[in-house]
Amino acid sequence: MATEKTIPFESIEGMFNRLGEDWHTSEYYISPDRPLPRDTSGLIFRPAFYGFFLCVEGWMDLKINHKLIHVEPYHIFALSPDSIFQRIEESPDCKGRGLFFTKDFLLKNIVSLHQLESFRFFTKNEDSCIQLNKEDAEPLLQLYDILK
């Protein structure tokens, strides 16, 4: 039986550099709209930052905090610091749009600590995946294009 390896990521820059992405800041990351790196399936990650991922094509099975989640187009899931994330399997055409950011980035630019802590989507004990329909996902896809 293989031993599972958990990879802690102290920075966004470190994580994406490890995944072969040349990223210039450790405060935020906006992912390209292309297939996910295949060599990370099965690895267990423990990010030190927040993130959203919106599936736009294909499907993915993953675990967040040991809970199995099936993600299809227009499903969005969240990661928070110290959550445990593992991609189990995905379709060859799986693509998504991700936005990752540090707590400091949010506090400097967007929200107060109280607002951030009250956002239940990032709470470990809450469901971290929401199924949207195409109509509800469209404003998020447009926002991603603006941010990119």
Give the pLDDT confidence of 101-142 residue by residue, as tens digits. Answer: 888 887 787 666 666 666 555 555 556 788 999 999 999 899
Is residue 32 scored above 70 in pLDDT? yes
What per-residue confidence (pLDDT) applies to 1? 43
Is residue 49 scored above 50 in pLDDT? yes
pLDDT in tens, 70-102: 999 999 988 888 788 888 999 999 999 988 888
Inter-residue long-range contacts of 125-131, CB under 8 Å, 24+ positions, other chains counted:
128/64, 128/65, 128/67, 128/69, 128/77, 128/78, 128/79, 128/80, 128/83, 129/64, 129/69, 129/71, 129/75, 129/76, 129/77, 129/78, 130/75, 130/76, 130/77, 131/72, 131/74, 131/75
